[in-house]
Amino acid sequence: MANMAGMSVFSEGVTLPKTVQEMSINGDEPPPEFYVKDSSFGCLDSSDLSSSVNSVPVIDVSQLLSSNDELEKLKLALNSSGCFQAIGHGISSSFIDKVREVAKTFFGLPREEKQKYSRDVNEVEGYGHDLVVSEKQVLDWNTRLFLRVFPQHQRRLNLWPENPHDFREVLHEYSSKLKQMMDLLFKAMAKSLNIEENSFSDQFGDNPVMQVRFNFYPPCSKPDKVLGVKPHSDRSGVTVLLQDEEVEGLQIIKDGKWITVPVIPHALVVNLGDQMQIMSNGIFKSPVHRVVTNTDKLRISVAMFNEAEPDREIGPVESLIDENRPRLYRNVKNYASFNYECFQKGKVALEEVKV
């Protein structure tokens, strides 16, 4: 795959010869493969960018099942942007700091150490970069570690870092806590729509999948051309994101504008995914979001995704379908692989499941 300057650094099905972290440390300019094309979807025009603490609602999760006001706030947030900041989630600040610390320590290890956990070509799990699957692909300025945490017997522990020594223990505890929080959110979401409490959780099945993605974004000399993560919506049911404690970067589209999700140090950002948009028959939104880069600060985030059991069919909850709100989506099985197939064909999965 030759580029204009004649430097052929990438070919299909391979990972990067140099990590973005190494390019960042060496002060290399990002290669053209990282430059976002000037299309409205991926454009970096910051003129329409408004950052406001008020544009992403803050919701006290501990109040959701007792306060109708908080429940109403949840419904509004999920119906408008599909994103809110959760406080009162019951996870102590010191434990949140611990999660950030193990992530930071891991990414700070020498390359050879991290590569023990590298994913193979065609594998999604493990440590690595974007796989190059097409010539037109624009690469993201990040390195990540992607792992399945539930069902527990499907964990590939050989890909779970042993350095720092408490990484596995912390990840196990963190994912267990987030699973509980997600279960509560599914109940609250159903309650906010006056439908049976288990309407959503039942669809995820007894053994829902949970995956974690540790994202590392090194400084980038071309923040006006290169994104940390290109615009996308998550294929999950719900994503719970622990942002960096100081460095912003996550933006969501709200009312046609990119807005920055501000950093609230011990809050968790909840982003709905496509599967909840489908199950709620479009009442709840799966926000399109992206991550921008910056020139001098590295950023780390930890995203936890849940998904329905792959062989279970998901679809709009029956009681959310009526004459005023006809069925928007057909039922679908294994949305994760469907989503991937669509991505490879350059299609948007959520559009493809519309009736």
Ligand X SMILES: O=C(O)CCC(=O)C(=O)O
**Which partner in ligand X, Fe ion, none is near 291 (CB below 5 to 8 A by kind)?**
ligand X
Contact between 339 and ligand X by CB under 6 A: the answer reads no
The DSSP annotation for 117-180 comes to TBPPTT--SEEE------TTPPPPS-EEEEEEEESGGG--GGGS--SSTTHHHHHHHHHHHHHH
Contact between 130 and Fe ion by CB under 5 A: the answer reads no
Q: Which two tokens stand for residue 285?
A: 């939104």
Judged by beta carbon, residue 62 or residue 137, the one nearer ligand X is 137
Q: Which of 21, 81, 301, 306 binds ligand X (CB under 6 A)?
A: 301
Q: According to CB under 6 A, which residues from 103 to 132 bind ligand X?
A: none
To Fe ion, the closest distance from the beta carbon of 229 in angstroms equals 6
Judged by beta carbon, residue 201 or residue 301, the one nearer ligand X is 301
CA 348 to chain centre: 16
Q: Decide: 275 and 331 in contact? Cβ < 8 Å.
A: no
Interatomic CA distance for residues 274 and 287, integer angstroms: 9
97: helix, coil or strand? helix
In 3D space, the residue among 124, 105, 56 whose CA is nearest the CA of residue 268 turns out to be 56
Q: Which two tokens stand for residue 92?
A: 């102590």
Contact between 148 and ligand X by CB under 6 A: the answer reads no
Show contacts of 157-166: CB within 8 Å, 24+ apart. Answer: 158/117, 159/117, 159/119, 159/125, 159/126, 159/127, 160/117, 161/106, 161/114, 161/117, 163/105, 163/106, 163/109, 163/113, 164/101, 164/102, 164/105, 164/106, 166/98, 166/102
Q: Which of 148, 289, 312, 314 binds ligand X (CB under 6 A)?
A: 289
Judged by beta carbon, residue 215 or residue 286, the one nearer ligand X is 215
To Fe ion, the closest distance from the beta carbon of 289 in angstroms equals 6
E-only strand ranges, the chain:
58-60, 83-87, 126-128, 143-150, 209-217, 227-232, 238-242, 250-254, 257-260, 268-272, 289-292, 299-307, 313-314, 332-333
The 225-264 contact track toward Fe ion, x by CB under 5 A, reads ---------x------------------------------
Judged by beta carbon, residue 190 or residue 258, the one nearer ligand X is 258
Contact between 274 and Fe ion by CB under 5 A: the answer reads no
Judged by beta carbon, residue 177 or residue 235, the one nearer Fe ion is 235
To Fe ion, the closest distance from the beta carbon of 232 in angstroms equals 6
Q: Decide: 354 and 327 in contact? Cβ < 8 Å.
A: no
**Which partner in ligand X, Fe ion, none is near 275 (CB below 5 to 8 A by kind)?**
none
CA 272 to chain centre: 9
Contact between 143 and ligand X by CB under 6 A: the answer reads no
Residue at shortest CB range from Fe ion: 234
Q: According to CB under 6 A, which residues from 204 to 223 bind ligand X?
A: 213, 215
Contact between 250 and ligand X by CB under 6 A: the answer reads yes
**Which partner in Fe ion, ligand X, none is near 250 (CB below 5 to 8 A by kind)?**
ligand X
To ligand X, the closest distance from the beta carbon of 325 in angstroms equals 29
Q: According to CB under 6 A, which residues from 224 to 243 bind ligand X?
A: 229, 234, 241, 243
Binding positions for ligand X, rule: CB under 6 A: 213, 215, 229, 234, 241, 243, 249-250, 289, 291, 301, 303
List contacts with Fe ion (CB under 5 A).
Answer: 234
